[in-house]
Structure 1
Amino acid sequence: MSNVDTILEDARSHLKRLEPHEVLALEDVLVVDIRPAHNRLAEGEIENSVVVERIVLEWRLDPAGDWRLPGFTAGTTVVVVCNEGWASSLAARDLQRVGLPNATDLVGGYRGWRAAGLPIREGGSEPVV
């Protein structure tokens, strides 16, 4: 097993990863898209998601931070989305470390969501800065 596989396995052992249809059933949820702009422009985005660049993710979602986004609490389920559900697992683990115990990610990522036929918006949104 490679080093990154070991790190990924450890990260996922702390997550309750969600299938696409499970996310739709949640009420207090914030879906955060960390994919690069070129992917979002080419493939679209999950409807009602917010785009946060991976480089500022922890600062924008730290529930006690000065730079946090409005509209969520430490109890909100934050679902991180990448292309296929790999990088999002590592990002969700990091969000748990900054105070979001319900942070998790989407099994299959954006492509799994789209393959399930769930609501998307075309084009790409500007990231939250």
Structure 2
Amino acid sequence: MPIRPVKELVAEAKSQITTLSVAEAQARQVSGEALLVDIRDPRELTREGRIPGAFHAPRGMLEFWIDPASPYHKTQLATDKTVILFCASSWRSALSAQTLQDMGVDNIAEIDGGFSAWREAGAPIETEE
């Protein structure tokens, strides 16, 4: 039996989650209504830059960091704000948002197009000098 293509999984996830435009995500961050969470690999942050004020939670630790019962819980993720995930192009963030919804997190969304769309929109980015 062939495996389900990742594109199919991402499309299914996107049909079940909230996806925000770069402009909407940026407006919510600026107004203090949202916490942007970068789930990219640390090497991607070094290579491509970061969104100022975004919290970094590597994809592999996300579920452990958000669960208050986990020994790895990060208090920064225990928020009433909308948690807006992003990765490079919004595939990992779509799957992650769906997983967090399945865990019972209801204040979750993702950025359409991810960090790539953020950069292309000319939104602020910090780079390592």
TM exceeding 0.5: yes
User: Which residue number corresponds to residue 99 of structure 2?
Assistant: 94
Q: CA deviation at 1:53?
A: 1.3
- Give distance in 1, aligned partners of 2:68 and 2:16: 19
Give the aligned residue type for 1:20. Answer: V
User: Which residue number corresponds to residue 113 of structure 2?
Assistant: 108
Q: CA deviation at 1:58?
A: 0.4
Aligned counterpart for 2:125 among listed residues 92, 109, 120: 120
| Gapped regions of structure 1 (runs ≥ 5) | 125-129
Q: CA deviation at 1:74?
A: 5.9
* Greater than 6 Å deviation, 4+ residue runs: none
| Gapped regions of structure 2 (runs ≥ 5) | none
Residue 68 of structure 1 aligns to a residue whose secondary structure is coil
* Greater helix content: 2
Aligned residues: 123
User: Which residue number corresponds to residue 127 of structure 1?
Assistant: none
Offset from partner CA, 1:34-91 (integer Å, 9 cap, x none):
1122221111001101111111100111255443222444643111111111111001
TM-score by length of 1: 0.83
Q: Percent identity?
A: 32
Q: In 1, are the aligned partners of 2:65 and 2:77 still within 8 Å (CA)? A: no
User: Which residue number corresponds to residue 13 of structure 2?
Assistant: 11
- RMSD of the alignment, in Å? 2.0
Q: In 2, are the aligned partners of 1:62 and 1:100 still within 8 Å (CA)? A: no
